[in-house]
Structure 1
Amino acid sequence: MYFAALLARTEDGWEASDTELDNVETLTDLADLAREAAVDDDTVVAFIEQEDAWFGVIRVDGEDDPRVFLSNAAIAARSSYGAMLTDELLGRDDDDATDDLDSLDLDGTEDGEPEPDNDVEYDTSLDAVNGSSGPPFGPLGDAALLDDLGVGEKELLALDGDALSTIADSLGCTEVLEAVR
């Protein structure tokens, strides 16, 4: 199950809204949704989380390209919204994504493979050995996207569990986020 919310920065603080992702098929769709929630083209931060397995943060500043961070790309890629974001970050097109999704079982794991251990660190040097071109086990994207808002790169990379609440604490909008949870 997903949780998604948009946090729009205003001159009085943050405004949050629960976000319905049913009509979101691309990062562009998500960025457009964020821009609709923006106040005076100010920053909007979108949160997506799937049952503490992974989280994503998408930042939209006016008409600038969205900035994206995923806590664990390999696990996120096994879900529809996570796959959308992972594919965007890896520069894969829709045909590549469709081929990958065809190999997924209904529970989101590849046929015949056990679910990955969240504590395993991904070693990119193994890609050449294994011939893997999939997303890494671990973070992917712009870990510095919240630096100027009070969440440093190191802090973001170290988050697990209820990461969105920790981020909201740092942004000063915990109550606003919890109101839409």
Structure 2
Amino acid sequence: MYFAALLARTEDGWEASDTELDDVETLSDLTDLARDASVDEDTVLVFIEQEDAWFGVVRVDGEDDPRIFVSDATAAARSSYGEILLTDELLGREPGAEDTIAALEELVGLDGTEDGAPDPTPDNHSDTTSDLTSDTDSDDPDDDGFGADAVPAGPLGDTLILADLGLPEAELLMLRTDALAEIEDALGAAEVQETVR
């Protein structure tokens, strides 16, 4: 189960609201959602949490690129909303790498029988094919084809994302459960807690 909240900074302090992520499919969608809630292009924070398994914070300041922090990248990688936050840039991989790997997997699967021609050697497959697919084939439905080492364990992203707002890096990295309450308290927004829980 997911929980999401928006914290928008205003002249009078922080305004909080819960938010639905049903129409959010990309980081751009999430960024647009934050900008829509912005007052005079001031800071907006989007908080996403999955049943205490992981949480993520996206910070949008006006038209600047969003800043992202994820408390546990490995756990987030198994989540549809976590995948939105785990961008190529955040993971340090080349843009489009996932598409390239998918294309290679498709090519490896071609054996010349796609047009209905019988396979002349059904029981004698080349070792090359198995070698090429061994690192990416998995019975795990959550496997994204990159292997376990593609997403680092633990926190990932901008650990200073809230430092200038009152939550230093060291304290952010210590957050586990009920992270939103701790963040709101550090931001001086504890009084808005009731509106989003």
Shorter chain as denominator, the TM-score bin is: 0.7 to 0.9
Q: Per-residue deviation at 1:178?
A: 3.0
User: 2:33 is matched with which residue?
Assistant: 33
| Letter of the 2:99 counterpart | D
Query: 1:143 and 1:23, CA in 2 relative to 1: closer, same or farther beyond 3 A?
Result: same
Please give the secondary structure, in 2, of the residue aligned with 1:144: coil
Work out the CA distance in 2 between the residues paired with 1:6 and 1:95.
Answer: 31
The alignment covers a number of residue pairs equal to: 157
Q: Which residue matches 1:146?
A: 162
Deviation of the 1:159 alpha carbon = 1.1
CA distance in 2: counterparts of 1:180 and 1:11, whole angstroms: 20
Aligned to 2:124: none
CA deviation map 1:13-37 (0-9, x unaligned): 0111111111111111101100000
The answer on whether the counterparts of 1:83 and 1:97 sit within 8 Å (CA) in structure 2 is no
Q: Tell me, yes or no, if structure 1 residue 51 matches structure 2 residue 62.
A: no
Runs of 5+ consecutive residues of structure 1 not aligned to the other structure: 111-130
Residues 54 and 75 in structure 1, CA contact (< 8 A), matched pair in contact too: yes
TM-score, structure 2 as length reference: 0.73
- Structure 1's consecutive aligned runs of 4 or more residues displaced over 4 angstroms after TM superposition are 96-100
Structure with larger Rg: 2
- Distance in 2 (CA, whole Å) between partners of 1:164 and 1:96 is 37
Among all aligned residue pairs of Structure 1 and Structure 2, give the percentage whose two residues are the same amino acid: 64
Q: Which moved more, 1:88-97 or 1:148-157?
A: 88-97
2:180 paired with 1:164 = yes
How many Å apart are 1:95 and its aligned residue?
2.8
Distance 1:84 1:97 in 2: 18
Query: What TM-score do you get using the length of structure 1 for normalisation?
Result: 0.79
Deviations 1:154-176 (A, max 9, x none): 11011111111111110111231
User: Does the 8 Å contact 1:78/1:104 carry over to 2?
Assistant: no
